[in-house]
């Protein structure tokens, strides 16, 4: 592909992004790594993040101190990985799932790219449900009209693309921070920070240790959902951008809101022990803590805004993953396609009693494929990092299948016995419930080990 001499997109915001999965030429590169802090902060300052903490305490009975320990570790590991993969963006100028072709091969990459496409649809649907409940409660609308309004706003932003998304995320940061600080203060005042493990919780069979492991698993699984999209938001940065700066701003931008909001979610369960927060409408915890007055309305507006900031990324990266998987569309067309499928799924979210279970299983299922994928991609980077990289090499012929596909399948197979979900429990997890779900750890390690053994660096 030839480089363009004239800048046709650059930093323009009010212009539809013309690029899809092709490399970003040097003359189109722009931005500062600090921009990544606002983007990842706003994308994670949302009620779905808080719901992770609610689930750890409400479903698994984890003590508040145990939930905090698991949340801290899960987010630290997850955002360290997200930060690392984000540094690959300026090197290649490619979306993350296009870079994945280098480890998996042209055809071998279709499976993980397809799963990333489906994950984008799933996340878009989950977050749209939460936003629709907030708008419906605030404006006294039925679920489907509220959902339609939320969907229209999200798709409109993403059609414009990369620059519009970055701007929207930066502008949303302060409002989201203020809204969640208000909710946090209400939670802190009422919670019991010494609340012990609750053996009466629906999924408390494994005890406190399993609860801590599952808190770690859920928080990590939430982050791992972003990892296949890491470079999508750094690929326009100049190739000379310092990797350490990218890693730092991405890590802080994601770790801070996720950790605080997930702890806030677990604390809300202990603050409202008389309610089954996992079985109530997703916005119920907000109105129970803040009431139905001015503060409660601010909380609901915060949830709506958080839905938009998260879903812009889900929709955008889902579209890019679909293109990397082989869907023949323009980027903006793929975004509308993802939105349409996600909207259809979101119409099923009008039953709060099923939302918590589906959300938990969805998070853990993400780790089942994305964690081994991350192990493969990181080992590939490690083995090829010293090569003089041509950012356009990925568009030239290379093997249809590479060792990454086999290593990935090994990682998935190794993780299956350790899965612990309501729709499937592996034999090792079933034999000792205290283990919780450690499938993502096993899958990552097995895939990385297999890639180390199988992959032999070639050109690029």
Domain ranges across the chain: 35-368
β-pair partners for 425: 420
For residue 2, the model assigns a pLDDT of 42
CATH top class, domain 35-368: mainly alpha
Tokens of 386: 């010293």
Lowest mean pLDDT among 146-155, 322-331, 361-370: 361-370
For residue 395, the model assigns a pLDDT of 47
Q: How confident is the model at residue 223 (pLDDT cuts 50, 70, 90)?
A: very high
Lowest mean pLDDT among 76-85, 197-206, 333-342: 197-206
Q: How confident is the model at residue 290 (pLDDT cuts 50, 70, 90)?
A: confident
For residue 364, the model assigns a pLDDT of 59
Give the Cα separation of 233 and 316 in Å (integer).
10
In the 3-class helix/strand/coil scheme, how is the chain assigned residue by residue?
CCCCCCCCCCCCCCCCCCCCCCCCCHHHCCCCCCHHHHHHHHHHCCHHHHHHHHHHHHCCCCCHHHHHHHHHHHHHHHHHHHHHHHCHHHHHCCCHHHHCHHHHCCCCCHHHHHHHHHHHHHHHHHHHHHHHHHHHHHHCCCHHHHHHHHHHHHHHHHHHCHHHHHHHHHHHHHHHHHHHHHHHHHHHHHCCCCCCCCCCCCCCCCHHHHHHHHHHHHHHHHHHCCHHHHHHHCCCCCCCCCHHHHHHHHHHHHHHHHHHHHHHHHHHHHHCCCCCCCCCCCCHHHHHHHCCCHHHHHHHHHHHHHHHHHHHHHHHHHHHHHHHHCCCCCHHHHHHHHHHHHHHHHHHHHCHHHHHHHHHHHHHHHHHHHHHHHHHHHHHHHHHCCCCCCCCHHHCCCCCCCHHHHHHHHHHHHHHHHCECCCCECHHHHHCHHHCCCHHHHHHHHHHHHHHHHCCCCCC
What average pLDDT does the segment 425-448 reach? 85
Is residue 351's pLDDT more than 80?
A: no
Q: How confident is the model at residue 397 (pLDDT cuts 50, 70, 90)?
A: low
Residue 40: CB atoms within 10 A of its CB come to 30
C-alpha angle 31-36-38 in degrees, rounded to nearest 5: 115
Q: How confident is the model at residue 423 (pLDDT cuts 50, 70, 90)?
A: low
Lowest mean pLDDT among 60-64, 239-243, 250-254, 281-285: 281-285
What average pLDDT does the segment 157-176 reach? 96
Is residue 243's pLDDT more than 90?
A: yes
Give the Cα separation of 379 and 371 in Å (integer).
13
Give the Cα separation of 71 and 65 in Å (integer).
10
Is residue 39's pLDDT more than 50?
A: yes
The length of the chain in residues reads 460
For residue 303, the model assigns a pLDDT of 87
Give the Cα separation of 53 and 261 in Å (integer).
7
Asked if residue 40 lies in contact with residue 254, where contact means CB atoms within 8 angstroms, the answer is yes
pTM (whole model) above 0.85: yes
For residue 460, the model assigns a pLDDT of 43
For residue 177, the model assigns a pLDDT of 93
**What's the chain's average pLDDT?**
87
Dihedral of CA atoms 126, 128, 133, 134 in degrees, nearest 10, equals 120
Provide the percentage of residues in the chain whose pLDDT is more than 90: 55
Per the model's pLDDT, the better-predicted residue between 306 and 365 turns out to be 306
All residues at 6 or more sequence positions from 255 whose CB lies less than 8 Å from its CB, including other chains: 75, 76, 79
For residue 35, the model assigns a pLDDT of 96
Sign of CA dihedral 169, 172, 178, 183: negative
Read off the pLDDT of residues 110-130 as tens digits, 9 standing for 90 and up. Answer: 999 999 998 888 888 888 888
Give the Cα separation of 429 and 217 in Å (integer).
13
């Amino acid at each position: 592909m030839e480089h363009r001499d004239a800048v046709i997109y650059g930093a323009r915001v009010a212009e539809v992004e013309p690029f899809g999965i092709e490399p970003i030429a040097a003359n189109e590169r722009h931005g500062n790594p600090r921009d990544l802090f606002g983007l990842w902060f706003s994308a994670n300052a949302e009620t779905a993040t808080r719901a992770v903490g609610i689930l750890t305490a409400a479903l698994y009975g984890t003590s508040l101190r145990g939930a905090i320990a698991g949340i801290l570790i899960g987010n630290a590991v997850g955002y360290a990985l997200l930060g690392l993969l984000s540094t690959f963006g300026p090197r290649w100028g490619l979306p993350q799932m296009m870079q994945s072709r280098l480890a998996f091969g042209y055809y071998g990459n279709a499976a993980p790219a397809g799963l990333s496409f489906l994950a984008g649809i799933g996340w878009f649907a989950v977050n749209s449900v939460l936003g629709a409940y907030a708008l419906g409660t605030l404006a006294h609308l039925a679920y489907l009209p509220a959902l339609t309004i939320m969907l229209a706003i999200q798709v409109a932003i993403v059609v414009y693309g990369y620059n519009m998304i970055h701007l929207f995320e930066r502008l949303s940061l302060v409002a989201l921070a203020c809204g969640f600080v208000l909710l946090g203060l209400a939670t802190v005042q009422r919670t019991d920070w010494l609340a012990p493990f609750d053996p009466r919780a629906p999924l408390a069979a494994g005890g406190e240790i399993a609860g801590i492991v599952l808190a770690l698993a859920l928080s990590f699984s939430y982050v791992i959902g972003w990892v296949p999209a890491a470079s999508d938001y750094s690929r326009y940065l100049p190739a000379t951008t310092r990797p350490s700066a990218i890693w730092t701003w991405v890590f802080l931008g994601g770790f801070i809101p996720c950790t605080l909001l997930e702890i806030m979610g677990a604390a809300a369960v202990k603050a409202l022990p008389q309610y089954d927060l996992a079985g109530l409408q997703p916005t119920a915890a907000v109105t129970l803590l803040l009431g139905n007055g001015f503060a409660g309305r601010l909380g609901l507006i915060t949830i709506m805004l958080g839905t938009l900031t998260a879903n812009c990324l889900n929709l955008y990266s889902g579209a890019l993953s679909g293109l990397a998987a082989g869907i023949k569309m323009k980027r903006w067309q793929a975004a509308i396609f993802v939105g349409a499928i996600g909207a259809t799924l979101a119409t099923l979210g009008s039953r709060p009693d099923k939302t918590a279970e589906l959300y938990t299983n969805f998070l853990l299922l993400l780790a089942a494929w994305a964690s081994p994928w991350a192990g493969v991609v990181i080992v590939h980077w490690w083995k090829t990092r010293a090569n003089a990289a041509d950012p356009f090499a990925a568009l030239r012929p290379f093997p249809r299948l590479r060792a990454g596909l086999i290593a990935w399948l090994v990682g998935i197979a190794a993780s299956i016995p350790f899965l612990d979900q309501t729709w499937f429990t592996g034999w090792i997890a079933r034999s000792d419930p205290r283990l919780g779900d450690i499938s993502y750890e096993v899958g990552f390690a097995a895939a990385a080990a297999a890639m180390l053994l199988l992959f032999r660096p070639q050109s690029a």
